[in-house]
Amino acid sequence: MKTILILTTFISYCALNLLRAQHFLSNTDIHDLHQIDQQFKKDPSELLRTSKYALTNKKDRLCISLVAKTNNGFNPSQIESFGGQAHITVNGLAHLQFPLSKINKLKELNNIEFASLSKKLRPCLDKALIDIRADSVHLGLGNLTQGYDGENILIGVTDWGFDYSSPVFYDSLLQETRILAAWDQYKQSGPSPDNFDYGTEFDTPSELNDAGSDTANIYSYSTHGTHVASIAGGSSVGTAYKGIAPGAQFLFVTFLVNEGAVLDAWEWMYQKSVEEGKRLVINMSWGLYHLGSLDGNSVLSSAISAYTDLGVVFVNSGGNNGNVNFHLKHDFESDTIASRIQFYSYDANPNMWGQSIHSWGEVGQGFSNALEVKNTAGQVVLQTPYYSTETTDTYIDTFLINETDTIWYNISADDAHPLNERPQMRLRVKCTSNAYRVMFKSTANSGTVHNWNVTELTNDVGNWGMPFSAYGTGSVSGDNENGISEPSCADDVISVAAYASEWVTPTGVTTGGAMASFSSRGPRYDGVMKPDIAAPGVSIGAAISSYTDASFSSVESIEFDGRTYHFAKLSGTSMASPMVAGIAALLLEAKPELSATEVKQILLSTAREDNKTGILPTEGHPKWGHGKVDAMAALREALNLGLGQSEEDFSFKVYPNPVDNTLYIDELKTVSIKAILKDFSGKSREIEIINGRIDCMDFSAGMYLVEFRYKGQTNQRTFIKH
């Protein structure tokens, strides 16, 4: 067999060379910007139609989307001067939209600590209500003084495939929609939300009714968002499929499948919650493995922490790769490992490109990776050189040829990534022939390196793992550990695993309750325990969008306003996450002064163990987290926290709320007393109420709790500072 090795070609960046001096961009992004620039110059319309990158057409200018960490000196006008826009959210985190025609001007931006091209994101009740004890909470059992259904709480859902017309999003009398507002970032007819210049906002019942659903997008007319939102808070509408918080209101965002767009979505939801003076829970049933750094340092992780400090509760699905050995870890001692890269079938997805191997090492401990190609007899027919994180500072895009067969691969690396100073490498390989076995090889003098094998699609939304497997003497297999995706890796998010609901058969036999085989295992590769908690996620019945073109098996249907609405059972951690989001809404209805951190702590501390979980470690378990979520136990714990309202009937009205400068407490007009001011990050300080007035001039924007004693009773009131 004649073997030919094509000389590796290094791509140079003429127009973007100066970008390399900008430490805020990784080598991968520098290469991708170069590719985008070249494609843009060749055919802008084709780039917009087929690109895997986050592109938008703004005022006839094609723009690339980036997420960034900025410092205090950053001025959005520097981007606006080039025809772009910067949407600043919290703590200097920003969504940047930069014109491709000015891409070489990126090097002129100042006061940016880190920037990255927005990565595309992917999605990842009957018996379940009983399993998590939510039915008892609705009824006010277990010594609760009343039932709770999430009333006056907002549940934000970032997803795709919303049916605004579905009766599950109406009140119990089917008279008024509970969707407060929706933002379809794909629909460009407008009007856009205030402070944003893209997408269309629907904020009245008539607008929602006229729209019917969100528009077709990268997932066509999906139903994922409808199913997820129905689990979190859908009305039963005469079926068994009642959501967890059926009294809550909704905020829906159909977002542009990239990081920058989801940052904007969170900011839009937060501003809506401030305007309404209501607590906010955000559910995210999606994630990605090559988004961020998988260790809590990503831009989205930083944003989650910042909004958590403002009182927003974030809940995220942990991932669906628990049943695949897509992770490979090795502690190096001047040795080399080899493992076969398994490929997803090229016949199974029209967008299939190949496999992406993403590797992260330890600070100061570089490593090198290579590919080796064997035939079915186990003989090596092709091989690449080893590429080191310490010396690979340009993007490598090349291929190998064996007779008439071509194997493509590309590599980008950083010796110290801007997010965490760790060495990292992303190696992508395409091999369409079944005649070869592609081997991944890695070597280092010392240090631990983690690798993940994830399917790569041409539209950049592949999210499922494929195995590392042994092939030949001395090779090793992968495992299913360290499999939590971003942004479920964030410190402050509630990361949710999935299990099968437990139920009693008609003959009295208890069945179910086991961990779902697909539920991703933790911990994070830096040792931090994830997931945080587990909830039902197997065959969960909930509403299906009446506009979807996706296939499903209906288990029930109803008629409403001349349309047929179906219910179906779906599985995934996508279904487990809104279970927990709904319970968080119940907690906030019962105790609205809880901080987001306290909500998470209560859910984790009251999670239950049983014969399926076994006795769980105090720090949590890589499959179960802290156990199975228990709505009743969490509600009872929340209601016993701290000091409650005064038993004496004082109105203590606070106004104006939201407030700009001075807050008034009408019952204290002639009284000056000390009080405790607490924000929703859990921080507190002593202030003074002078003649019923609180000076709020220097308070940061956000939600606060003021606690004071009056006539022997402790009282608490919440308010919002603009």
Q: To 5 degrees, how large is the angle CA 551–CA 183–CA 300?
A: 90
DSSP string across 590-607: H-TT--HHHHHHHHHHT-
Look at the domain 327-469 and name its fold.
Answer: Jelly Rolls (2.60.120)
> Which of 210-214, 318-322, 329-333, 509-513 has the lowest average pLDDT?
509-513
Contact 485, 322 (CB under 8 A): no
Q: Give the model's confidence band at 574: pLDDT under 50 very low, under 70 low, under 90 confident, else very high.
A: very high
Paired tokens of 99:
């014109």
Q: 53 pLDDT band (50/70/90 cuts)?
A: low
Rounded Cα distance between 318 and 531, Å, is 6
Tell how strand 673-679 and strand 684-689 pair up: antiparallel
Q: Is the dihedral of CA 307, 309, 312, 318 positive or negative?
A: positive
CA distance 409 to 436: 15
pLDDT for the residue 52 = 65
Rounded Cα distance between 594 and 642, Å, is: 10
Whether residue 646 has pLDDT greater than 90: no
* The two three-digit tokens of residue 546, written as one number: 């009446």
Percent of the chain at pLDDT exceeding 70:
90
Distance of CA 331 to the CA centre of its chain: 30
Q: What is the pLDDT of residues 348-375, one digit of tens each?
A: 888 899 999 999 999 999 999 999 999 9
Residues 6+ apart with CB under 8 A from 145: none
The band of 643, judged by pLDDT with boundaries at 50, 70 and 90, is very low
- How much is the average pLDDT of 211-230? 89
At residue 3, the pLDDT reads 43
pLDDT number for residue 65: 84
Q: What is the residue whose two structure tokens read 């959210």?
A: 89
C-alpha 116: how far from chain center: 17
C-alpha angle 371-376-381 in degrees, rounded to nearest 5: 45
State how far the Cα of 576 lies from the Cα of 228, in Å rounded to an integer: 9
Mean pLDDT confidence for 266-278? 95
Strand blocks (E) in 2-150? 55-58, 61-70, 85-88, 93-99, 112-117, 122-123
Q: Which two tokens stand for residue 658?
A: 């939201």
The helix or strand, by DSSP H or E, that contains position 154, with its residue range, turns out to be: strand 153-159
H helices within 277-380, ranges in order?
299-309
Whether the per-residue pLDDT at 621 is higher than 80: the answer is yes
pLDDT at 172 over 60: yes
Contact 174, 184 (CB under 8 A): no
User: Dmax of the chain from CA atoms?
Assistant: 97
Is the pLDDT reported for residue 644 higher than 50?
A: no
Res 363: pLDDT: 97
pLDDT cut 90: percent of the chain above it: 58
Q: Please state the rounded mean pLDDT for residues 679-703.
A: 85
Residue 215, CB half-sphere, CA atoms under 13 Å: how many? 15
Q: How far is CA 609 from the centre of its chain?
A: 27
Q: Which of 196-210, 377-391, 462-476, 483-497 is predicted with the least confidence, judged by mean pLDDT?
A: 462-476
The pLDDT-based confidence of 7 (bands split at 50, 70, 90) is very low
- 21-117: what CATH class? alpha beta
Question: pLDDT band for position 51 (50/70/90)?
Answer: low
Residue 222 banded pLDDT, cuts 50, 70, 90: confident
The pair phi, psi for residue 589, each rounded to 5°, is: -65, -45
Q: Count H helices, E strands: the chain?
A: 12, 37
Does 593 score more than 70 pLDDT?
yes
- Centre a 10 Å sphere on the Cβ of residue 506 and count the other Cβ atoms it contains: 5
Angle between helices 596-605 and 631-639 (to 10 degrees): 130
pLDDT exceeds 80 at position 636: yes
Q: Cβ–Cβ contacts within 10 Å for residue 636, how many?
A: 17
* Distance, CA of 330 to CA of 486 (rounded, Å): 22
The pLDDT-based confidence of 16 (bands split at 50, 70, 90) is very low
pLDDT at 138 over 50: yes
- Let me know: does 311 contact 680? Beta carbons within 8 Å: yes
Residue-level pLDDT at 687: 92
pLDDT digits (tens, 9 = 90+) for 141-156: 777 888 999 999 999 9
pLDDT at 676: 87
Other CB atoms within 10 A of residue 443 CB: 18
What's the whole-number mean pLDDT along residues 76-90? Answer: 86
Task: List the one residue out of 383, 407, 409 whose CA is nearest residue 396.
Answer: 409
**Backbone angles phi and psi of 280, in degrees to 5:** -130, 130
Higher confidence at residue 390 or residue 16? 390
Identify the pLDDT of residue 647.
39
- Residue predicted with more confidence, 441 or 698: 441
pLDDT at res. 1 = 39
Q: How many CB atoms lie within 10 A of CB 438?
A: 23
pLDDT (tens digit, 9 = 90+) per residue, 409-418? 999 999 999 8
User: Taking residues 562-579, what's their average pLDDT?
Assistant: 95
- Cβ neighbours of residue 49 under 8 Å, at least 6 residues apart? none
| pLDDT at residue 273 is higher than 60 | yes
Residue 505: pLDDT band (50, 70, 90) is low
In this predicted structure, what is the pLDDT of residue 179? 98
Q: What is the pLDDT of residues 509-545, one digit of tens each?
A: 667 899 999 999 999 999 999 999 999 999 999 999 9
C-alpha to C-alpha distance for 673 and 692, rounded to whole angstroms: 9
Residue 649 has pLDDT above 50, yes or no: no
- Domain 122-321+488-636, second-level architecture: 3-Layer(aba) Sandwich (3.40)
Rounded to whole angstroms, how far apart are CA atoms 172 and 635? 23
Tokens at 422, concatenated? 């760790």
From residue 178, alpha-carbon distances to 151, 212, 251, 412, 479 in Å are 10, 14, 9, 47, 44
Helix (H) or strand (E) holding 405: strand 405-414
- Residue 434 identity: N
Single-letter residue type at 495: S
Q: What is the pLDDT of residue 50?
A: 61
Put residue 666 in one of left, alpha, beta given phi > 0 → left and psi -120 to 50 → alpha.
alpha
Q: pLDDT band at residue 216, thresholds of 50, 70 and 90?
A: confident
Domain boundaries, the chain: 21-117, 122-321+488-636, 327-469, 654-721
Average pLDDT over residues 429-441: 96
C-alpha separations of 34 from 15, 105, 290 in Å: 8, 13, 20
Whole-number average pLDDT of the chain: 87
* 228-266: burial string, b at 16+ Cβ within 10 Å, e else: bbbbbbbbbbebebbbbbbbbbbbbbbbbbbbbbbbbbb
- φ, ψ of residue 275 to 5 degrees: the values are -60, -40
How far apart are alpha carbons 685 and 69 in whole angstroms? 29
Q: Fold for domain 654-721?
A: Immunoglobulin-like (2.60.40)
- Tell me the two tokens of residue 449: 């390196």
Nearest to 578 by CA among 8, 124, 65: 124
The residues facing 685 across adjacent strands are 677
Q: Cβ-count burial of 106 within 10 angstroms (0-12 exposed, 13-18 middle, 19+ buried)?
A: buried
- Cα dihedral across residues 635, 638, 643, 649: positive or negative: negative
pLDDT on residue 125: 61
- Express each pLDDT in 85-130 by its tens digit: 888 887 788 888 888 888 888 878 888 888 888 765 544 466 688 7
- Locate 243 and state its tokens: 């959501």
Higher pLDDT, 553 or 46: 553
Q: How far apart are CA 634 and CA 269, in angstroms?
A: 25
Q: Is 336 helix (H, G, I), strand (E, B) or coil?
A: strand
Which residues lie below 8 Å from residue 129, measured CB to CB, with a gap of 6+? 135, 242, 244
Whether residue 4 has pLDDT greater than 50: no
Task: Give the pLDDT band of residue 458 (cuts 50, 70, 90).
Answer: confident
Tokens of 212: 């019917």
Give the integer Cα–Cα distance in Å for 87 and 68: 10
pLDDT tens sequence across 241-265? 999 999 999 999 998 878 888 999 9
Whether the CB-CB separation of 603 and 580 falls below 8 Å is answered with: yes
- CA distances from residue 8 to 36, 307, 414, 436, 482 in whole angstroms, order as listed: 21, 46, 19, 20, 33
Q: Average the pLDDT over 168-175 and give the result.
A: 91
Which pLDDT does position 104 carry in this prediction? 80
Q: What is the DSSP letter of 508?
A: S
Segment among 132-136, 385-389, 605-609 with least mean pLDDT: 132-136
In this structure, of 33-37, 276-280, 563-567, the range with the lowest mean pLDDT score is 33-37
Which DSSP state fits 239?
S
